[in-house]
Amino acid sequence: MRFDGKVALVTGASRGIGRAIALALAREGANVIVNYSKDDAKAREVVDSAKSLGSRAIMVRADVSNPMQIEEMERVVREEFGRLDILVNSAGITFRRPLEEVPYEEWRRVMEVNLNGAFYVMRTFFKLMADSGGGSIINIASVAGYIPMVGSGAYSPSKAGLIMLTELAAAEWAEYGIRVNAVCPGPIETDMLREEFTEEQLEIRKRLIPLGRLGRTDDVVKLVLFLASEDSSYITGESFIVDGGMAVSYYLLMEKLFKMGKKILEQP
Ligand code: NAP
C-alpha cells in the first residue's frame, strides 16, 4: 500500500475533512495520529475505525493554538512512533459576522487556530520530520485565501496567510527533504459548512457552482493523498484549489445576473 510504514499526523481529525483524510491514510497503510481539541468521543470513533483498517492509530487531544500542548503532542508522537512522514494541518474555525462588528477576541482566535496554529505545529514537528529523512506537509487552506469571503471576518486573511506560510516553509525546508503544499477547498459538506449557512443558502450556492454540486470530503482527500505520496515528489510550495470551478466563475455569475438583471434594476 502507498503509505505502508509511514506515520501521519492530521490535526482537526475528529470530524469533517480531517477525519476523512486520517481514515484514507489509514486505509492506505499509514499509522495515524488523530488530533482534536474537544470531542473525545468523535476522536475515539475515528481511531477505532482507523484501527479496524489495520492502522496503529492513536488520538491526541491538543489545541493547535497552544504551543505547550503541541510540544506535549510531539513528545507523544516521538515516544510512540519515533518518526513523522506526513503532516496535515486541517484544524480550522470560522465565524460569520460583518468586518466592522468582529470582536478583537474573535479575530485573534481565528488567526490563532487557522494560521498561528498551523505554524506552531509545523515548527514543533520540523525536527522530527527532518530526522525522519523528510516528508510531506499539507495545509488545508481555502479558496477564501484567494477570494475575500465577505462576512467571515479573519477567515480569509488567516487562509491567505496560510498559503504564504506554505510557500515560505517550502522554500526553507526543501533542503531537509520536506515538501509543503496547500489544498484550498471551496464549499465542502461538513459541520463547518452546515453551521455557517442555512439549507436554502447552501442550495443557492450549489446552483452557482459551475460543476453543479457542493464538494465532498473525498474531493479533498484524493488530492491530499497525491500530495502526501511519492507521486508528487517534485511538487512543493504550491496551492491547489478544489472548488468545482467556483473561483473562476465571476463572468459566469455576471451572465446569470444579466439574465436576472431586470429584477435587480427594479430594486431601490
Ligand atoms: P469541521 O467539520 O468544523 O471540523 C473541524 C475539526 O477541527 C474538528 O475535528 C475539530 O475538533 C478540530 N479543531 C477545531 N479547532 C481546533 C483546535 N484549536 N485544535 C485542534 N483541533 C481543532 O471543519 P471542516 O469543514 O472539516 O474543515 C477542516 C479544514 O478545512 C479547516 O481548516 C477549514 O477552514 C478548511 N476548509 C473547509 C471548508 C468547508 O467548506 N468545509 C472549505 C474550505 C476550507 P474538535 O471538535 O474536537 O475541536
pLDDT level of residue 262 (50, 70, 90 thresholds) = low
Rg (CA), the chain: 19
Return the closest-CA partner of residue 16 out of 112, 118, 91, 87. 91
Identify the sign of the CA torsion 137, 140, 146, 148.
negative
Task: Judge whether residue 260 has pLDDT over 90.
Answer: no
Instruction: Give 44: exposed, middle or buried? Use CB within 10 Å, 0-12, 13-18, 19+.
Output: middle
Q: Which amino acid is it at 65?
A: S
Name the H helices within 114-190.
117-131, 155-173
For 86, the grid coordinates are 506526513
Q: Is the CB of 192 under 6 A from ligand 1?
A: yes
User: How far is ligand 1, taken at its centre, from the CA of residue 93, in Å?
Assistant: 6
What pLDDT, in 10s, does the model give residues 179-217? 999 999 999 999 999 999 999 999 999 999 999 999 999
Question: What residue spans define the domains of the chain?
Answer: 7-266
User: Which position has the grid cell 452546515?
Assistant: 194
pTM across the whole model: 0.97
- Looking at residue 268, its pLDDT comes to 66
Identify which of 68, 190, 216 to mutate to test ligand 1's pocket (most ligand atoms within 8 A of the CB).
190
Q: Is the pLDDT of residue 266 over 90?
A: no
- Point out the catalytic residue in the list 146, 155, 176, 251: 155
- The more confidently predicted of residues 263 and 16 is 16
How does pLDDT run across 98-114, given as a tens digit for each residue? 999 999 999 999 999 99
Given a cut of 80, whether residue 265 has pLDDT beyond it is no
Would you call 155 a catalytic residue per the annotation?
yes
Closest by alpha carbon to 124, among 90, 89, 91? 89
* CATH classification code of 7-266: 3.40.50.720
For residue 187, give the ligand 1 atom closest to its CA.
Answer: 40
- Answer whether 152 contacts ligand 1 (Cβ < 6 A): no
